[in-house]
Amino acid sequence: MTAFDFSVEPAQSAGRSEATSPSEAPNIAGGRQDWQAAYLRYLAATDTLVVIAAVCLAQWIRFGDSGVLHTSEVFDNLSYTIISALLIGAWLVALVIFRTRSVRVVGSGPDEYRRIFESTVRLFGFIAIVALLFRLDLARLYLAIAFPVGLVVLIANRWVWRQVVRRKRERGEYQTSVLVVGNARSVRNLVDSFSRGTADGYRVVGVCIPGYTGNPAEVVDVAGQTLPILGDERDIVSALERCHADTVAVTATEHLGDDGLRALAWSLEPHQVDLVVSPGMMDVSGPRLSMRPVAGLPLIHVEKPQYQGAQSFSKTSFDLVFATLALVAVGLLMAAIALAIKLSSPGPVLYRSERMGLDGKPFSMLKFRSMVIDADKHVTRLMAANDGAGLLFKLREDPRVTRVGRILRKYSLDELPQFLNVLRREMSVVGPRPPLRREVESYDGEVRRRLLVKPGITGLWQVSGRSDLSWEDSVRLDLSYVENWSMVGDGLIIAKTIKAVAGGRGAY
């Protein structure tokens, strides 16, 4: 997978079945610091190689073996080799200034990519301003090659390393061990969240329960994990020595209070331990959260979800442009699919299904027909064999699906005509799953929030398991998208959709 080897001792699996006493807690003290330091060194090395390669490639394509920069009368003529060396140094410094290798962002989340993009764009913008002010006759092709090549390969380099980290975390390595301070319910919610985000590498190794007066050797079963109870809020420092956690996650903020949190932060200063505080808000992402000090208090402000205005306009514009380009790109493929459907089974090429769109308004969703004619009439007969969750009706081995349809459904090719629904402004490229009328009629007040935005061809449900999702997870992902959508998030979902569809997992 990679020529580099910076392995550490693998952490124990988070899903152990037997109880772990405090004295038997896994000793991985310093483990996170070890693998993070090695990981950052290799990131720095590969970033340097990428920048050098991009700049040298630009110089070689533009000038060959040599080149001269013709400057104004203020400067003497300089070799482009010197200019390239200066550009390489400035680029690497920009990556450091914008903290693209901060341990807070590497390995997870889109912020790592955003920082690389921002540092590169600002650097080349600064170069353009300097060239204009000092009348430097910089070769445009030279910069036009170095900028996009370097940016794309830097981001690709980070993506490759993130895949390395993700695979190791799936094997139980590269873990961040967490001591949770909170009551049973908050601990359960946090463990559930960590178990869903295995690629983030957080593993709970112990619990401190405020006001706990029981046996210090007692264990608690939380979300299928047996965790040791290491005392109450006064035993946090001693608990760290017993479970060797490198992060303390506090969910009991109302119990500790301001003075308690301050005292805890002070007591953790001598230790190589991070302190994180859970605000207790589930499925509210970064773009809607901002920290603002008010009267000396750090308050978390939660912005309202954005459904209207400029963001809605930008999403609609993106949908129309993307759908048009997609239809042009897959036009021949769609023609071939239509021919295969027509020749393999009697009936129309397209299947129209009534779905509920924005604000619960019905529309006719287009799909390539993947089943026999009148397949809907057999739903009642097959309901007993339903493999779907909640209100969803799905069959892994659906007898109504044609031979061609089975291939189309596996790779979601039957959904290509929905780009026409996007052009008709009935759907978005990215959004919640388009529901049936009978599903909407069963929605409660919370689930109806899915109808605040247009349904999508793809969405969080598509890249998180597709048909293998439970009803609760499907609703949670859809609501999370509705509450937190952004253009950057849509771009990441589209990229993940390509990978999910190519693998054909979770579709039937």
Q: Where are the domains of the chain?
A: 31-170, 175-280, 309-503
C-alpha to C-alpha distance for 324 and 443, rounded to whole angstroms: 33
What's the pLDDT band for 121 if we cut at 50, 70, 90? Answer: very high
Q: pLDDT tens, 35-62?
A: 888 899 999 999 999 999 999 999 888 8
Is the per-residue pLDDT at 356 higher than 50? yes
Helix pair angle (309-329, 487-503), 10° resolution: 30
Q: Which residues pair with 428 in a beta bridge?
A: 456
C-alpha to C-alpha distance for 405 and 5, rounded to whole angstroms: 45
Structure tokens at 306: 């954005």
Is the per-residue pLDDT at 64 higher than 60? yes
Q: Provide the terminal-to-terminal Cα distance of the chain, rounded to the nearest Å.
A: 31
Q: pLDDT tens, 357-382?
A: 988 899 999 999 988 877 666 565 66
C-alpha to C-alpha distance for 285 and 293, rounded to whole angstroms: 20
C-alpha to C-alpha distance for 410 and 501, rounded to whole angstroms: 8
Closest by CA to 385, choosing from 377, 372, 394, is 394
- Torsion over CA of 451, 452, 458 and 459, rounded to 10 degrees? -110
C-alpha to C-alpha distance for 28 and 25, rounded to whole angstroms: 9
**Residue 46 CB partners (closer than 8 Å, separation 6+):** 157, 161
Q: What's the topology of domain 175-280? A: Rossmann fold (3.40.50)
Q: Are 141 and 209 in contact (CB under 8 A)?
A: no
Q: The pTM is what?
A: 0.65
Question: What is the predicted pLDDT for the residue at 312?
Answer: 76
Is the per-residue pLDDT at 412 higher than 60? yes
Is the per-residue pLDDT at 63 higher than 90? no
**Helices within 98-139 (DSSP H only):** 111-133
C-alpha to C-alpha distance for 8 and 458, rounded to whole angstroms: 38
C-alpha to C-alpha distance for 422 and 141, rounded to whole angstroms: 38
Of the candidate ranges 312-321, 342-351, 498-507, the one whose mean pLDDT is the lowest: 498-507
Query: Strand 219-222 and strand 350-356: pairing?
Result: unpaired
Half-sphere exposure of 138 (CA within 13 A, CB side): 25
Is residue 445 classed exposed, middle or buried when 0-12, 13-18 and 19+ CB atoms within 10 A define those classes? Answer: exposed
Structure tokens at 497: 């959709």
Q: Are 374 and 455 in contact (CB under 8 A)?
A: no
CA 164 and chain centroid, separation? 16
C-alpha to C-alpha distance for 394 and 391, rounded to whole angstroms: 10
Is residue 175 classed exposed, middle or buried when 0-12, 13-18 and 19+ CB atoms within 10 A define those classes? Answer: buried
Query: b/e for 180-192, b at 16 or more Cβ within 10 A?
Result: bbbbeebbbbbbe
